[in-house]
Amino acid sequence: MKSVPVAELVSPDAEHLGLKVLFGENILDDKQITHFRIQKPGLALAGYCDHIHSGRVQILGNTEVSYLWTLEPELRRQSVAGICKKDVCCFIVTKDLKLPDEVTETVMAFSIPLFKTDRVSSETIIDLSVFLEDRLAPDTVCHGVFLDVFGIGTLITGRSGIGKSECAVELIKRGHRLVADDAVRVKRIQDYLEGSSSDMLRYHMEVRGLGIINIKDMFGVAAIRLRKKLELVIEFTDWNPNVSYDRLGLDNVYEEILRQKVPKIILPISAGRNMAVIVEIAARNHLLKIMGYNSAQEFSERLMNTISEGESQTIISDELEKRMGRRGVE
């Protein structure tokens, strides 16, 4: 199971969370967060701790702190100790609320990191969930070029040297945007995939014969974006005259990435084909499918209706000929 050290909550990337360490600065790397969902102890403070999870951040908001202040000192210790025995990863106190000394002492006794923030619980929970969801999302690295083409996150794959980067440069010249080149980091966030670039390769592309170029400096900030939802995979392959390629667009092919199926198109490369234009058309066509219009399916249905009507006309003509023949005999 993927996990994130509690220390990430006070890293430079998490400054927007506004957390300050009250206790446990030297043990932040020892505690691990394993789930992006946040918990508020609630009934656990009253003794029902069956659903407290060790890998989730525990929020002590106004309700929890107010309840603790109503208890006798010894009951406070017992109340918090019941949660601490579940080996929770950390506590966060919101709204700069003052904790009873017994609570702080109990948390310290169990060596559990304690944070505070001046933000309200609802805002803290939302921002923490988004931050941890990104950190804990399953991820993988795909070889290819990832672009935003007409708003469609398009991953171009294929063997090395087949022309992916050259096609990407042409697409960028046409106004489309680069997300990542060569090593595309793909994350599964809930029910969709999101692609981005590594920090080292961000904004850069390799073009054989030219070397490494910086797309941001060369084409401007409008030519790049940091991340994009992955919606379409286009695989470049060498043209093979012995292979039968899809000519109608009725074949549904998918690429499975992190257990998510992404629509895939296989495009054969041959001399004279403008691959940038074809990729644009593929993205436009995919956009139409998302909006509910499938041109290939519509053409197929029209063709079948025409054939059916033709067969019906043939049957009617045969019947008329038979009847006319009978009358002629009579």
Catalytic residues, which ones? 143, 164, 182, 247
C-alpha distances (whole Å) from 23 to each of 30, 93, 104, 110, 176 are: 14, 12, 9, 11, 49
3-state helix, strand, coil in the chain (%, to 5): 40, 25, 30
**Rounded Cα–Cα distance for residues 247 and 312 (Å):** 28
Tokens of 181: 């080149």
Let me know: does 229 contact 193? Beta carbons within 8 Å.
Answer: yes
20 phi and psi, to 5 degrees? Answer: -125, 140
With vertex at residue 310, the alpha carbon angle to CA 308 and CA 313, rounded to the nearest 5 degrees, is 110
Residues 227 and 194 sit within 8 Å (Cβ to Cβ)? yes
**Alpha-carbon gap, residue 192 to 156, rounded angstroms:** 18
Tokens of 40: 């508020």
